[in-house]
Amino acid sequence: MSASQYLMAIDQGTSSSRVVVFDQNAAVVASAQQEFPQEFPQPGWVEHDPEVIWNSVLEVTRKSLAAADVKNYAGLGITNQRETTLIWDRKSGECVHHAIVWQDRRTADYCQKLKDKGAEESVTQKTGLRLDPYFSATKIAWILENVANARQRAENGQLAFGTIDCFLLWRLTGGRVHATDASNASRTLLFNIHTQEWDRELLELFDVPESLLPEVKDCADDFGVTDQSVLGAQIPICGIAGDQQAALIGQAGFQTGATKSTYGTGCFVIANTGQDAVRSKHNLLTTVAYRLDGKTTFGIEGSIFVAGSAIQWLRDQLRIIESAPDTQAIAEATGIVEHVHVVPAFAGLGAPYWDPKARGAILGLSRDSGINEIVTATLQAVAYQTKDLVNAMSDDGMHPSVIRVDGGMVANDWFLQFLADMVNVTVERPVNVESTVLGAAFLAGLGSGVFASTDAIADLWASDRVFEPQMPDDQRNALYRGWQDAVARVRSSVP
Ligand code: ADP
């Protein structure tokens, strides 16, 4: 390659939109970020105004274009909050309803009705997911049922459905391209991960007209170019993946068995299972990790609802720390806490328990337990929950030899050492812990030919620090038994 080439990556998240410009060696040239509000129209409902999302993306994109002040953009990549659902008019581009966000539970009863009819087994077999409001299909059905004339307009082919990647692509290309990638499609409950096609039986089950659906492309593919009038430049869009899949790519997790764990607000673990769509026996999800050159690589995924947000809870509700990084010095001074367990089940327990009615607790307090023990036990809880997930993955045949970690919480060295000790696996932190946006840039680089192969990407990935397990087995087992006992006490029903 002669002249330098640049890659732009958009990361459209649940609470903020950000854009990063990278050079061809994956070094950051410029970035911009903007937070935006969510809307909560009723208990359990979570929405975004699509115009607020679009404007925030436009603004951070224009800001980073100006800050980077370079010309040779080889490609643009998009990564996004997954499952969040939008429907818009193909002519005007206007959305018929606010975005229904992944966290929204308004379709819980609808899901239960379908489960009562015995639909879940076939849905899980085809999609790798659970019949849960979290995913897009029942959100689409809700909009079609509740917005005046929406179903009729959908049946006439006037409307388009998309997850956030697809909506941004539509807008960025001036309404020319209606497409998504296989990783985002695999989160809708409408996409058969084995045939890699929208599934007629699922469309019928959820009563979704096929005319609404976007074309499904590879993650590195030709998605069109940005319209001159939108960004003042025509940049080829050549990479798309959902946020957790993008993080796996940003961690260069291309080998079967490669595992990444992202510690932001919540925690998401994905293990690359290669060409096998591994069906979990422990309530983990099977998902498309990525699809490149028409070849699908699968992943197994588990999530912890509360990770970094437990640290925010210490800061904002308990007010026992001033800022999140304080937790490291406190834990270093306190040392591993043996008997106090914080179970941060504020919104129920995710995988492998799936107990929505469980609630949090602090257990094992004695007269000498204080603020420091509670802070340290909270960090430990995030590691115990990761062990729960990794144990489930191991039982499903996917035991990692290394876990690559990213997200805001991994700045905490004490946490990562305890994590390595508890999970009993090497933990590796990259130089760039913003794996999600980096993954979108990697895909754009693959799609535009800046990177010749996934090997070239793996060569660019750089390790910052490795944490090796050091804890004696006896201590690990005793601590983990204490955690399991604490979890058993907060569950809504005895399993
Ligand atoms: P998101 O992308 O979900 O907004 P980030 O990846 O930016 O999250 O991570 C932010 C989270 O990390 C916050 O919840 C914060 O409490 C936590 N966090 C940040 N720094 C530390 C630290 N040094 N120790 C522990 N937690 C931290």
pLDDT band with cut points at 50, 70 and 90 for residue 251: very high
Q: What is the pLDDT of residue 37?
A: 86
Q: What is the pLDDT of residue 423?
A: 97
Mutation to probe ligand 1, out of 265, 268, 323, 375 (largest number of atoms < 8 A from CB): 265
d(CA 493, CA 358): 8
Over residues 37-61, the mean pLDDT reads 92
Q: Hey, whose CA ends up nearest to atom 23 of ligand 1?
A: 325
d(CA 451, CA 449): 5
406 touches 263 (CB < 8 A): yes
Counting atoms of ligand 1 from 1, which one is nearest the CA of 266?
Answer: 3
What are the tokens at 219? 């993650």
Over residues 271-281, the mean pLDDT reads 94
Instruction: Residue 128: name the closest of 259, 348, 276, 293 by CA.
Output: 276
How far is the CA of 191 from the CAs of 119, 125, 133, 182, 238, in angstroms? 15, 11, 16, 9, 22
Share of the chain above pLDDT 70, in %: 99
pLDDT band with cut points at 50, 70 and 90 for residue 42: confident
Over residues 362-377, the mean pLDDT reads 97
Note the pTM of the prediction, 2 decimals: 0.93
pLDDT band with cut points at 50, 70 and 90 for residue 1: very low
With a cut of 80, say whether residue 356 has pLDDT above it: no
More confident residue, 411 or 359: 411
Over residues 237-248, the mean pLDDT reads 97
Mutation to probe ligand 1, out of 261, 342, 409 (largest number of atoms < 8 A from CB): 409
Over residues 347-366, the mean pLDDT reads 86
Over residues 382-386, the mean pLDDT reads 97
pLDDT digits (tens, 9 = 90+) for 436-482: 999 999 999 999 999 999 999 999 999 999 999 999 999 999 999 99
pLDDT band with cut points at 50, 70 and 90 for residue 495: low
Counting atoms of ligand 1 from 1, which one is nearest the CA of 379?
Answer: 25
Q: What is the pLDDT of residue 494?
A: 58
Protein residues with CB under 6 Å of any ligand 1 atom: 15, 264-265, 308-309, 311-312, 324-325, 327-328, 407-409, 411-412
What does the CA dihedral 120, 125, 131, 136 come to, rounded to 10 degrees?
Answer: -140
Over residues 17-31, the mean pLDDT reads 95
Domains in the chain (CATH in brackets) are 3-243 (3.30.420.40)
Residue 22 exposure: Cα atoms within 13 Å on the Cβ side? 27
Q: What is the pLDDT of residue 437?
A: 96
- Looking at every residue in the chain, the average pLDDT score rounds to 94
Q: Ligand 1 centroid vs 378 CA: distance in angstroms?
A: 13
Q: Is the peptide bond before 495 cis (omega within 30 degrees of 0)?
A: no
Q: Hey, whose CA ends up nearest to atom 9 of ligand 1?
A: 408
Q: What is the pLDDT of residue 123?
A: 96
Q: Ligand 1 centroid vs 308 CA: distance in angstroms?
A: 5
Q: What is the pLDDT of residue 368?
A: 94
Mutation to probe ligand 1, out of 31, 311, 434, 437 (largest number of atoms < 8 A from CB): 311
How far is the CA of 190 from the CAs of 59, 138, 151, 159, 395, in angstroms? 33, 10, 17, 17, 28
